[in-house]
Amino acid sequence: MKRTVRIVLAWSLASLGFAAAAWAHHSFAAAFDMNKPVTVQGTIVQVRLENPHSWFFLDVKDASGKVERWSFEAGTPSGMIRNGFKASLIGKGTQVTIKGFHAKDPSQNVGMLRELVTADGTVYGLFGSQQGPGAQ
Amino acid sequence: MKREVLTLIGVVAVALAWVAPPLAGQNAAPGAASAGPAPRMADGHPDLSGVWWGGADIGAARGRGGPGGARGGGGRGTPPRTFASLYKPDVAAKAKTLGDKDDPTLRCVPTAFGTLNVSLFDVGAVGQIIATPKMVVMLTETYHGFRLVPTDGRPHRDDVPPAYRGDSVGRWDGDTFVVDTTNFTDNTWISAEGRVSPHSDALHVVERYRRVDANTLEIEARVEDPQMLTEPWIVPKQTLVLAPFDRIMSLNCSGVETQALMDAAAKQNTGK
């Protein structure tokens, strides 16, 4: 039974992931490598709540102190806002941790945002803070 | 064992609840359960005014058929026809050379029709109608599209160049509002999200809007493009509900990063 539960869980999550991807204004699967998760910590330098998709830009410092600019693609801004996100919530200088998936082009510091966590522990997903689990 | 079975059922139920599109009216404005008749304008025709969507927003309104739950267009086991499925052979061959990176919406160009088979949405999932007896204004959210639909019987205008959203005129057929749209450019697609669906400037769209009660709007459409299609595309009927807010948002579109990302991904995927 445990195996069955795991299979159903896997099926459910796969369905949810497909549903989220199916919604996007472009194919996330075409642009990002879902087998290449990435996590970065850094300082927000710009948030663009723009169509077709929102973008978060941040500076990430590595162990040697070198700073690299990363960008993460998120959801459609109107959907994010109706799901609880606000333009004033995250601005320049905000410390965040972003988990996502790396772009298929390995030379780019670009990812698809799966989860953004602020210093106080607030978690935002691809489509905002009050999204359903299907958007994860 | 019993607990594991219950857990299993619970997991599936939760998953399906999020994947399945909400039923019409499920998330409508307060009072939806006691929806009265459609309101009427001063001239007696149904008032189509309101913000309309499929019952939920992005992050919830996804899955089979999209918001509104597209139904029809094929029997059991037969996928509903799409615009592109009706391409003539030479058009279909040319379409195969296009892909996600060629989608005009990546450059903030709207669709000619609508990704969720709802022209009122364009590439988004919500639209607004402001209706008067002489003019019906249709506003889309994501790319700031609009259509001004006169209802006084005037013909299509002949003094403007082709447009992304075409030129519309409307008339009442009983309680059904019929919108006839022509004069499209040929540099948009019917849908977005990489669904390859170019059309010609011979595109002709006829939509039928019916507000069946205070909270429900049904839309049917017939799409003709004799240069591209073997036969007209009959769009599956869409059922929208009144959203619990009274205005759509105005947000910019740049698309620069998204287009660059898709170009880079295409090079990784196909080497060109």
- Give 10-residue mean pLDDT values along chain A (136 residues): 41 38 59 92 93 91 93 89 83 94 90 91 72 37
Tell whether the model's pLDDT for residue B28 goes beyond 60.
no
Cβ within 8 Å, pair A8-B193? no
The alpha carbon dihedral of B147, B150, B155, B157 has a sign of negative
Q: Do the chains contact at A31 and B5, CB–CB below 8 Å?
A: no
Query: Which residues make beta-bridge pairs with B177?
Result: B172, B209
DSSP letters for A57-118: EEEEE-TTS-EEEEEEE---HHHHHHTT--TTTS-TT-EEEEEEEEESSTTS-EEEEEEEEE
Q: Which residue has the higher pLDDT, B43 or B1?
A: B43
Residue type for position B3: R
Which residues, numbered 150 to 189 in chain B, qualify as contacts with chain A under a Cβ-Cβ cut-off of 8 Å?
none
Asked if B123 is an interface residue toward chain A (Cβ–Cβ < 8 A), one would say yes
**Dist. CA B156–CA B148, nearest whole Å:** 12
Cβ separation A78–B252 shorter than 8 A: no
B261 inside 8 A of chain A by CB: yes
Give the pairing type, strands A95-103 and B176-182: unpaired
Are the C-beta atoms of A134 and B62 separated by less than 8 Å? yes
Residue in B closest to A55 by C-alpha: B257
| Residue A63 C-alpha, separation from nearest chain B C-alpha, in angstroms | 27
Kindly list the strands in the beta sheet with B216-224, ordered across the sheet, starting from the edge strand earlier in the chain: B146-150, B135-140, B126-131, B50-53, B233-242, B216-224, B204-213, B176-182, B167-173
- Look up the ipTM and state it: 0.72
**pLDDT, tens digit, 9 for 90 and up, residues A81-98:** 888 788 888 899 999 999
Q: Mean pLDDT across the stretch B168-194?
A: 96
Q: Is residue A6 in a domain?
A: no
Q: Given an 8 Å threshold on Cβ–Cβ distance, is A22 in contact with B62? A: yes
Residue A8, in any domain of the structure: no
Could you give the number of structural domains in chain A? Answer: 1
Can you read off the two tokens belonging to residue B176? 């059904």
Give CA–CA dist B184/B203, Å, rounded. Answer: 6
A101: domain range? Answer: 26-129
Q: Residue B103's CB: how many other CB atoms inside 10 A?
A: 27
- Chain center to CA of A28: 11
What b/e readout covers A107-131, taking b as 16+ CB neighbours within 10 angstroms? Answer: ebbbbbbbebbeeeeeebbbbbbbb
Q: Is B111's pLDDT higher than 60?
A: yes
Could you tell me which residue, B8 or A60, shows the higher pLDDT?
A60
Find the helix packing angle between A2-23 and B2-19, rounded to 10°.
10
| Contacts B8 to A, Cβ<8 Å | 1, 4-5, 8
For residue B265, give the nearest of A11, A79, A103 by CB distance: A103
Q: Which of B11, B245, B258 sits opposite A8 (nearest CB)?
A: B11
Judge contact between A135 and A79, C-beta under 8 A: no
pLDDT at B70: 35
User: Which of B261, B262, B267, B269 should one mutate to test binding to chain A, selecting the residue with the greatest count of A CBs within 10 A?
Assistant: B261
The beta-carbon neighbor of B62 closest among A11, A19, A32 is A19
A20 located within any domain: no
Distance from CA of B118 to the nearest CA of A (A): 14
Q: Are B172 and B45 in contact (CB under 8 A)?
A: yes
